[in-house]
Structure 1
């Protein structure tokens, strides 16, 4: 019996390390890229904001590098300390993003090129990242029914935002692509409302059939948007369409859609015991 307890503890520790490193490797790169995108949107005279963005870029570049230097066999206590350190960094970049949003909304950065919704969007992702690290350090590893709806509300809104950004950053003459982006925006706005309706019906809505159908429906739309993003990314990289979308931004939003699909598969496997869908 004692052997089983020790074995379970080891499995939990390995899962904690693997999940922690996966989150930090993914989101530290995202935070690093946010710093770049914000910097590109500032005016040349915003030297202080540019310097702060550069500092965050280098901070998360270092964190990303360190995350890749650890392995799944690294001491869990070392990872726990690393999570706390990274969580502090995520908290600081969250505060920076909210400060920038405040400056934009009070018209103190006229002529800058960061949409208020984009700055709000990247701050929500920083908040998500820091909360995820806190949850991991508190031992919240398993995807609960509560988390399924909450995570989907978060990511569906992220996908809706992406569609809006793409539509606004494409050249207006790219009418067909702008139309497609607008349709995706409308589709995901509807999915966000549906997810919030399901959230409002908790706990009665947290049945396996309802959640399974919820995940299936979201997967179809997310897979379609991911494929659209991949096509747009490839066309931008090959200079085949007109836009002011940075190639890295195109790849960035593609990776986030891909991440959401992985999370949907993880939730469905937890719900039904099924093998995750192949991409």
Structure 2
């Protein structure tokens, strides 16, 4: 059972960390999609509810495993979860097709949101497959690819927040628009750095890349936290579900955690497996 450059204990820790985080995200995606369907979309609502239960069960089981669990058990669990992630990805892409062909008039899921959640399902699936096969990217490639993925996710979040706030919340809407523009710019910069590979993969360039992105993600994370707290306290006007506000906050926290690990790795520091299960 090849695991590339990571040991068996780290393989278990990384696998459980990915599943614990992303299974909750997939579960919540199922809820959000279901809320956006029309009353007559009973089959789609039932499918969304089925995926909610599947990932709720996966999340529960993931928390029952420990770092000292037999790696072969975790490898089998990864395979099972990657199949579920593939299935929910296919469901999301089918829903996106229905929306774009105007088959669900009046439903309230933005096409970009459905595409967004399908990209996350695909990311989750690929992470588990990489861990099981041991085909983990070298650090320079991982830094660029993770940033390209997450920067786009953050840019999308800013757009969703801006569109779901009440238009009368002019200051917050403007802040969301500014974050959207900032992260669109960062996505372009990351794409440029990616296209310059491998020549662009020097430690000074990658360090600056991580540092610059980290500053912007911290600002967006703080904005999301403020919005989440204001929504929970019913102090602002919006149609944002409180769980969605917390959902996007947790994803920003996840990105910051990854950026911190990259920053430390570039400096030569080792990341302990206990820190992976943060």
**TM-score interval w.r.t. the shorter chain?**
over 0.9
> Which of residues 140, 144, 155 is equivalent to 1:149?
144
1:1-12 correspondence runs (5 A): 12=7
1:240-251 correspondence runs (5 A): 240-251=235-246
Q: CA deviation at 1:142?
A: 6.7
Which runs of 4 or more aligned residues in structure 1 lie more than 4 Å from their structure 2 counterparts after TM superposition?
A: none
User: What residue in structure 1 maps to residue 218 of structure 2?
Assistant: 223
For residues 227 and 61 of structure 2, the distance between their equivalents in structure 1, rounded to whole angstroms, comes to 32
User: What residue in structure 2 maps to residue 3 of structure 1?
Assistant: none
User: What residue in structure 2 maps to residue 264 of structure 1?
Assistant: 259
For residues 143 and 229 of structure 1, the distance between their equivalents in structure 2, rounded to whole angstroms, comes to 32
> Which of residues 177, 186, 189 is equivalent to 2:172?
177
For the 8 Å contact 1:16–1:141, the answer to whether it is kept is no
Quick check: 1:114 aligned with 2:112? no
> Which of residues 71, 80, 96 is equivalent to 1:76?
71
Q: CA deviation at 1:144?
A: 1.7
TM-score, length of structure 1 as denominator length: 0.94
Q: Relative to 1, partners in 2 of residues 1:164 and 1:39: Cα closer, same or farther, differing over 3 Å?
A: same
For residues 229 and 275 of structure 1, the distance between their equivalents in structure 2, rounded to whole angstroms, comes to 30
> Which of residues 250, 253, 267 is equivalent to 1:255?
250
Deviations 1:211-252 (A, max 9, x none): 000000000000000000000000000000000000000000
Question: How many residues of Structure 1 are paired with residues of Structure 2 in the alignment?
Answer: 268
Unaligned runs of 5+ in 2: 272-278
For residues 143 and 80 of structure 1, the distance between their equivalents in structure 2, rounded to whole angstroms, comes to 21
Unaligned runs of 5+ in 1: 1-7
> Which of residues 99, 111, 126 is equivalent to 1:104?
99
Deviations 1:197-219 (A, max 9, x none): 00010000000000000000000
Deviations 1:239-277 (A, max 9, x none): 00000000000000000000000001111111112588x
For the 8 Å contact 1:25–1:68, the answer to whether it is kept is yes
TM-score, length of structure 2 as denominator length: 0.94
User: What residue in structure 2 maps to residue 24 of structure 1?
Assistant: 19
For the 8 Å contact 1:31–1:57, the answer to whether it is kept is yes
Q: CA deviation at 1:140?
A: 3.8
User: What residue in structure 1 maps to residue 208 of structure 2?
Assistant: 213
Q: Relative to 1, partners in 2 of residues 1:160 and 1:108: Cα closer, same or farther, differing over 3 Å?
A: same
> Which of residues 91, 94, 114 is equivalent to 2:86?
91
Between 267-276 and 202-211, report the one with greater CA deviation: 267-276
